[in-house]
């Protein structure tokens, strides 16, 4: 399968929104707290537009036959409480189900890591729903290790 990984352009915005909505729909299996209307809201669209235009972002897409098969969005920032800066967080990654199991996720991470390293990033991190064992296994297979744990309590 011939799939090109390239830097996203502002013209990719609508296709990225479609992929992000599919991500939210998928993630609902693990977390019912996502606002499924957010992606297409004014705030959602503006979030992606700003990320696409920001020098602090790494946004890559996988393209095949003039169609986007997936995307990864990573944001770089420094944290004053951390001694190793800057840090890049994979905020979103999704691959259309028809294009999974072809190594795209690993290719996305390799290219993101390469670009992040060029920009002086010291660590790449990602948050994953604790119940999404497939995603956790995927990230660990690609070199991620347990670092922090976020615990939550519902208050009714």
Asked if residues 70 and 16 have their Cβ atoms less than 8 Å apart, the reply is no
Ranges of each domain in the chain: 4-141
3-state secondary structure 38-96: CCCCHHHHHHHHHHHHCCCEEEEEEEECCEEEEEEEEEEECCCCCCCCCEEEEEEEEEC
The pTM of the full predicted model, rounded to 2 decimals, is 0.92
Pairing of strands 123-126, 87-95: parallel
Q: Considering the domain 4-141 in this protein, what is its CATH number?
A: 3.40.630.30
Per residue in 17-53, pLDDT (tens digit) is: 999 999 998 888 888 887 888 999 999 999 999 999 9
Read off the tokens for 17.
């929104």
Provide CB contacts within 8 A for 37, sequence distance 6+: none
Query: pLDDT per residue over 78-99, tens digit each?
Result: 877 777 779 999 999 999 999 9
């Amino acid at each position: 399968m011939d799939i090109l990984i390239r830097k996203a352009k502002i013209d990719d915005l609508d296709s990225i929104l479609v992929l992000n909505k599919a991500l939210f729909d998928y993630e609902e299996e693990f977390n019912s707290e996502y606002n499924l209307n957010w992606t297409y809201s004014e705030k959602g669209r503006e979030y992606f537009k700003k990320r696409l235009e920001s020098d602090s972002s790494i946004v890559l897409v996988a393209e095949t036959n003039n169609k986007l098969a997936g995307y990864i969005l990573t944001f770089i920032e420094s944290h004053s409480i951390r001694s190793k800066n800057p840090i890049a967080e994979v905020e979103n990654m999704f691959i259309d189900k028809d294009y999974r199991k072809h190594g795209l996720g690993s290719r996305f991470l390799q290219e993101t890591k390469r670009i992040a390293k060029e920009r002086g990033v010291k660590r790449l991190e990602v948050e994953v729903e604790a119940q999404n064992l497939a995603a956790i296994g995927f990230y660990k297979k690609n070199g991620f290790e347990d670092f922090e744990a976020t615990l939550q309590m519902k208050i009714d």
